[in-house]
Amino acid sequence: MRFILRWTINAVALFAAITILKIDYQGGLIGFVWLGLIFGLVNAVLRPVIKVLSCPLIILTLGLFTLIINTLMFYLAGILGQPFGIGFSVTGFWQAFLGALIVSAISIVLSLILRDELKGRRRHKK
C-alpha cells in the first residue's frame, strides 16, 4: 500500500510540475502514472549512488547540491520515459530546476498529509 501511495504522489507531483511550467509532454493522463513509476525508480536506484559520489560537494555547499541532484533526477525521468511515449522534455536547466522544486514541494506536502498511511499505521475509530 505504501508503494502505491508513493507512486501516486510522484504521479500527481509530476503532473503539477509539467502543467504549471507548460513543459512539452507526450502521453495522456495514464502516462503520468507510468512516469511516476519511472521517476520513483530513478530516485530509488540512481539517487543514492549519485549522493554518495557527490558527498563532498553536498558537504561543501551545505546541502544545496542536492537541488542539482533533484534537477538531474527530474530531467532523467523525462528522458527515460520518451522511448515509451510518456516522457517530457525540458528546454533548459532552469525549467528542470523549477520542475524539480515543484515536484519536491508537492511530494513533501502530500507526504505530510498522508504520513500515517505511508508509515503503515491504521487509524482506529473510537
At 21 the pLDDT is 94
| pLDDT band, very low/low/confident/very high, at 3 (cuts 50, 70, 90) | confident
Under 8 Å between Cβ of 35 and 14: yes
In this prediction, residues 22-31 reach a mean pLDDT of 89
Q: What is the pTM of this model?
A: 0.85
Name the residue among 64, 67, 65 with its Cα closest to residue 100: 67
Q: How far apart are CA 12 and CA 5, in angstroms?
A: 11
pLDDT at 118 over 90: no
pLDDT at 74 over 60: yes
DSSP type of residue 91: S
2-to-11, 111, 120 alpha-carbon distances in Å: 14, 11, 7
Instruction: Read off the C-alpha cell for 41.
Output: 525508480
